[in-house]
Amino acid sequence: METGELNSEIIPRELRNLRACKLCSLVKPIDHFLYYGCDNCEHLLKMRKNKALVDDFTSNTYDGIISLMSPKDSWVGKWKRLEGFVPGCYAISVTGELPSTKVEELRDAGIRYRSRDSSVKN
């Protein structure tokens, strides 16, 4: 799927069993993270088909949901640093952070991790 293309499979149809990616804040059902990984971050997190990684890299505790059809054109998308991500539903704030080993791995790859947890200062 290309960036900017809406995948109706990732739009939550109910509020149960939803989780938010701790890296990009995409919200979708836990089984979608398990079967497909994160539509934005799979190349970095590689959590597809790994329940332990899905548990580590996503959170079932988050505040609010933003629905973005065009993240790069939305002021809300820019404010929440979501431009360039796939259209979908995103948490305003995600409770928890990535494990320190993954943060170090991202840093070594030249990627700056910014926590999506609003209770933590970036």
pLDDT digits (tens, 9 = 90+) for 11-70: 666 677 899 999 999 999 999 999 999 999 999 999 999 999 999 999 999 999 998 887
pLDDT for res 4: 47
Residues listed for the chain: 122
- Do 101 and 18 touch, CB atoms closer than 8 A? no
- Do 116 and 91 touch, CB atoms closer than 8 A? yes
Provide CB contacts within 8 A for 15, sequence distance 6+.
none
Q: Which domains does the chain have, with CATH numbers?
A: 18-108 (3.30.40.210)
pLDDT for res 83: 85
Encode pLDDT of 61-120 as tens digits. 999 999 888 777 888 888 888 888 999 899 999 999 999 999 999 999 999 999 988 876
pLDDT for res 2: 46
